[in-house]
Amino acid sequence: MRRSKYLRPAHLDAPAGGGARLKTSAMIASIAGPDQRTRAAPFGQALVELGRTRPDVLGITADLGKYTDLHLFAKAYPDRFYQMGMAEQVMISAAAGLAREGFTPFATTYAVFASRRAYDFIFMAIAEENLNVKIVCALPGLTTGYGPSHQATEDLAIFRGMPQLTIIDPCDALEIEQAVPAIAAHQGPVYMRLLRGNVPLVLDEYDYSFELGRARMLRDGSDVLIISSGLMTMRALEAAKLLAADRIDVAVLHVATIKPLDAESIRAACARTGRLVVVAENHSVIGGLGEAVAGELLRGGIHPAGFRQIALPDAFLDAGALPTLHERYGLSTEAVVAQIKSWL
């Protein structure tokens, strides 16, 4: 709950030793924890690699090349990079025009700007025409402490209603690297949520390979089924390890493709009797993966032992330090564990 702007921060007047307070991390900061294995700029690296064999692949941005890791592509192929300034409408329209002329532009900005500001342009100029534009957006969900101006907590809700748009929410560096050539090979528009900077590396432990449109069971378990996307799959895997110590057996189904949804895998996993289904996502409780899964289950006549969502509240979120905010809004591993225990 936000305090009145006319109240001084309480801790300033508290007795000394009130504890250290975290700072708002810069937008260029990584979401990785201090002990996590990471890879640097997986999107930028993968796009440079793809550019070697795909001369049709271009980069285009609205003054956020550096903050979407597209600067690596710009450096490798300066004549294939287009800077459109801080103007998302023309950036998207120009990407549509380039696609019309046979190119495959990767257009980057922040998720808030693509979804809120450029929506009509993506809808009419790109999706309605099924053009080959890949829209890759940093700061999805709650991955910055800058407040609602930068927190794209409802981007999936906005984009899921757009016909012909494929939506990807990758979990880690490995998946981003694999998704880049896969979405380039796909004919049609794609929206990909991007983790940038030093991105955690997790899925290599699970013999994972990304396949567009397919969900993947990363671990099996008999008490709880977590269905998750994006960075929440990383949290789900960590939570599953912790819950195992309490003899709670957790399965994790990773759904990287939000649309079209792998309904078959989701229904099959949820049809197994006796499991609590928990959908975990870095997104508002409204309109994201949770409601998509709920709809599938209802339409399919599938009734799991229970259904819960771990998601951001339908609210304008606080500014502050990211770890604090993940704890406050239930996205941290500890919060995931606590919520699941409370439901059993």
Q: List interacting residues with other proteins (CB under 8 A).
A: 82, 84-85, 87, 89-90, 92-103, 105, 120-121, 123-125, 128-129
Residue at 181: amino acid letter? P
Cβ closest to other proteins, residue 97 vs residue 181: 97
Strands (E), the chain: 38-40, 57-61, 81-83, 104-110, 134-138, 166-168, 190-194, 198-200, 216-219, 224-228, 250-254, 257-259, 276-284, 306-312
Q: How far apart are CA 245 and CA 38, in angstroms?
A: 26
Q: Tell me the closest approach of the beta carbon of residue 118 to other proteins, in angstroms.
A: 9
Q: Tell me the closest approach of the beta carbon of residue 80 to other proteins, in angstroms.
A: 8
The CA-based angle 194-312-165, given to 5 degrees, is 45
Cβ closest to other proteins, residue 35 vs residue 101: 101
Cβ closest to other proteins, residue 100 vs residue 272: 100
Q: Are strands 276-284 and 224-228 parallel, antiparallel or unpaired?
A: parallel
Q: Tell me the closest approach of the beta carbon of residue 258 to other proteins, in angstroms.
A: 25
Active site includes 88?
yes
Cβ closest to other proteins, residue 121 vs residue 146: 121
- Helix, strand or coil for residue 328? helix
Q: Tell me the closest approach of the beta carbon of residue 95 to other proteins, in angstroms.
A: 6
Q: Tell me the closest approach of the beta carbon of residue 87 to other proteins, in angstroms.
A: 4
Q: How far apart are CA 150 and CA 139, in angstroms?
A: 7
Cα 116 to chain centroid distance, Å, stands at: 16
Cβ closest to other proteins, residue 93 vs residue 166: 93
Other Cβ atoms within 10 Å of 29 Cβ, number: 16
Q: Is there a contact between 207 and 238 (Cβ–Cβ < 8 Å)?
A: no
Catalytic residue among 49, 88, 177, 291: 88
What amino acid positions are annotated as catalytic residues? 88
